Amino acid sequence: MATRTKTTAKKASQKNVVKAPARKPTKRTVKTVNRADSMQSFHMAKSDKPFFTLQPDRQTVYWTILALCVLALGVWMVDINRRVLEMYDQIDRQNISNESLTDAEIKALEQDHNK
C-alpha cells in the first residue's frame, strides 16, 4: 500500500507592498435652492406697449406686406380660374354649334336613309 504523504502548501512570498496614504474625504457643499425663486422665470412678462396702439412698427409693416401678397395671389388664382372657365364655355359653344344640324342637312340625311 502506498502511503500518502502530506504536502505542505507553499506560502506565497510576501512582497513589501507600499500602501498609499489614505485620502481625506473631500468636503462637499450642498446648495439649497428656494423653490419659489426657481419658478420666477415662468411669470408673465409685462408688455412694454399697450396692445391697442395705433403706432405702426416693424411688425405692422411685415404683416401688411404678407397680407397684400396673400390677397394678390388669391385675386390671381380667381382670375386664372375665370379664364379657364371661359375657355371651357367657348369649347362647349363650338361643340354645340358643330353638332347642331340645319334643316337642309336633316332632310338630306332622311333621304339617304330612305333610299
Give me the residue spans of the domains in the chain.
Answer: 74-115
Q: Can you tell me the mean pLDDT for 78-102?
A: 90
pLDDT at position 67 is: 98
Q: What is the mean pLDDT of the chain?
A: 80
**More reliable by pLDDT, 16 or 108:** 108
Q: Can you tell me the mean pLDDT for 23-34?
A: 72
Q: What is the dihedral of CA 103, 106, 111, 115, to 10 degrees?
A: 180
- pLDDT confidence of 110, banded at 50, 70, 90? confident
- pLDDT confidence of 32, banded at 50, 70, 90? low
